Amino acid sequence: MEEAAQKARAVVESVENPEQAKPATTIEDAAAAGSPNVFPLENYGVGIDCHSKFFEILAFTKAEDGYAVWEQTVAADFHALRVAGANLHARLQHQGFLPAGADCERAFVYTLESTGCYHLPLVLAWGGQACLVNPLLANPSRRKTDRLDARMLATHTLSRMWPRSYIAPSHVQELRLLLAQRRNLGRKATAATNRVNNILLRWAHTLGKDGAVTSSALRPIIEDLCFERPVLPREGVSPIPLPPIARMLILGFLEEHDACRKEQRQLEKLALLHLAETDWPCGAGTRRGNEVLALLRTVPGLGPVGSLVWLAEVADASRFPNSKAAAAYAGCDPSVKVSAGHVTAHMKRGGNEALHHALLQGAQVLVCTAKEPIGQWGRRIWLQGGRGAWFRAASATARRMAAGAYHVHSKGEPFSYAMYKLDVPQVEEVPLAAMRLSPRTAKLLTALGLETSTEVADAWMADLRNEEGVGRATMQEVRRWLDQHRQKATPPTEADPRSTGG
């Protein structure tokens, strides 16, 4: 009480005698003292607004009474951009804001919008530390001009709001181009098969309901229809013959599909050859790309294509501080919208679309087959039911896959379950009666032929949720018992190579 009274008297005296009060702490003093809530602005800030024909450059440089402004509009030409960058370096060096010599370019920081590939000529011309920002985040206002956007981006550089962006080197860009073209061919092949089914439906042929029109079971029938050969009566075949134009178009679309698939396989071979000839960051050093690819394929669910996509999009695992950041980059970060302290909606961040799709495909294979502990864990989420159970299970499994791929890539070691904490119920075996469940639940489990706690745990991991009479209350009661009596599991040390996705 006495200490509180002394503090109160000190406050009153400082108000009554302001000349005797302690002077206010400046921003620089607070920053020097290590205050977490105060940080000084940098000596300079550079922002660039990118266009297809020109770049609007604006720089703030610290002066005695504030910040001086320097502006320039530069044509979208590599040599012109190099000259503008050299002039800006000289100006900042003259004021002592950049070091001299070779360190100048490495220390140079600037912020610009990520606009497709239009920003890449400037990044390649300037080097340094580029901070790429989504245009929707850079200046989300209605009033947008080139100068205003550049000014806002320069302000972001002053406060170092955005982290340095990863600029993919040439060999990474080459692999990305190969895989991007492969995806484009896949979309073209799918569009061609959809057009075939569209044409067939116009004359009442419903073969598409039985599977892909290019499958070994359906394609011979479609070709027989196109070449007017006799077709045995079967479900899905209409007595209405296909007209000549329809037959011609169907055969053309089938040829287009075959050509796209053939070129896809050729691109995969080119990607593998490219990896065998280039070095990639892995562990504490670098390795040949095919060696890194072999390590990534030890991750459950990552097949040949999935591993290629991971290596192309991530390239260097050291650019992520932890596995959570890598999973967020892959679009496997479950986020929520919060208003007034309450969760109003659940959402998924966009992330890298190609990488997210590859991980999700592999996760779906794991959940369906349930051969791996990760897949069994995801399958249990699926069998719990509820709204969007399948998507939640696949997304959670994909997040585990991303974490595993990150550790394999960053450590340079094969995948292992040693550090995983999979929610696999391992319990002491006791009779069902000793579990002391409610009479209704005990009677239901007995009717299902379950006699011990281990059998109940196995059923929980399998398909207990789908049994007749088993509802949410029963599943919750069994889950509570398993959580209370769980023992530490001894997971396997190697992954099953058969349970890999694309």
- pLDDT-above-70 percentage for the chain: 83
Encode pLDDT of 169-181 as tens digits.
999 999 999 999 9
Encode pLDDT of 147-173 as tens digits.
888 888 998 888 888 889 999 999 999
Does position 44 have pLDDT exceeding 70, yes or no? yes
**In terms of domains, do 381 and 444 share one?**
no
Encode pLDDT of 381-414 as tens digits.
887 777 788 888 899 999 999 999 999 999 999 9
Give how far Cα 16 sits from Cα of 7, 20, 338, Å.
Answer: 14, 9, 44
Does residue 79 lie within any of the structural domains? yes
**In terms of domains, do 109 and 204 share one?**
no
Q: Identify the domain boundary among 385, 411, 437.
A: 411
Model confidence at 247, pLDDT cuts 50, 70, 90, reads very high
Q: Backbone phi, then psi, for 161, in 5-degree steps?
A: -70, -40
**Do residues 68 and 58 lie in contact, with contact meaning Cβ atoms separated by under 8 Å?**
no
Residues in the chain, how many?
A: 502
Query: What is the structure's pLDDT at 373?
Result: 85
**In terms of domains, do 297 and 360 share one?**
yes
Give how far Cα 369 sits from Cα of 116, 331, 390, 462, Å.
Answer: 39, 23, 14, 11
Q: Identify the domain boundary among 116, 131, 159.
A: 159
Q: Is the dihedral of CA 263, 264, 269, 272 positive or negative?
A: positive
DSSP string over 137-200: HH--SS---HHHHHHHHHHHHHHT-SPPPP---HHHHHHHHHHHHHHHHHHHHHHHHHHHHHHH
Q: Identify the domain boundary among 245, 276, 307.
A: 276
Does residue 495 lie within any of the structural domains? no
The 3-state DSSP class for residue 206 equals coil
* Domains held by the chain: number: 4
Model confidence at 31, pLDDT cuts 50, 70, 90, reads very low
**Do residues 362 and 500 lie in contact, with contact meaning Cβ atoms separated by under 8 Å?**
yes
**In terms of domains, do 330 and 380 share one?**
yes
Give residue 458's domain range: 429-484
**In terms of domains, do 238 and 187 share one?**
yes
**Neighbouring-strand partners of residue 343:** 338
**In terms of domains, do 257 and 285 share one?**
no
Q: CATH no. for residue 98?
A: 3.30.420
Encode pLDDT of 49-106 as tens digits.
998 999 999 999 998 888 899 999 999 999 999 999 999 999 999 888 888 877 787 8
Identify the weakest region by mean pLDDT among 58-72, 238-252, 336-350. Answer: 336-350
* Stretch (H or E) spanning 56: strand 54-63
Query: What is the structure's pLDDT at 397?
Result: 93
Which string of b and e fits 396-419 if b means at least 16 CB within 10 Å? Answer: bbbbbbbbbbbbbbbebeebbbee
249, two tokens: 């178009």
Does residue 17 lie within any of the structural domains? no
Query: What is the structure's pLDDT at 238?
Result: 93
Does residue 360 lie within any of the structural domains? yes
**In terms of domains, do 64 and 113 share one?**
yes
Bridge pairing between strands 54-63 and 66-75: antiparallel
Model confidence at 115, pLDDT cuts 50, 70, 90, reads confident
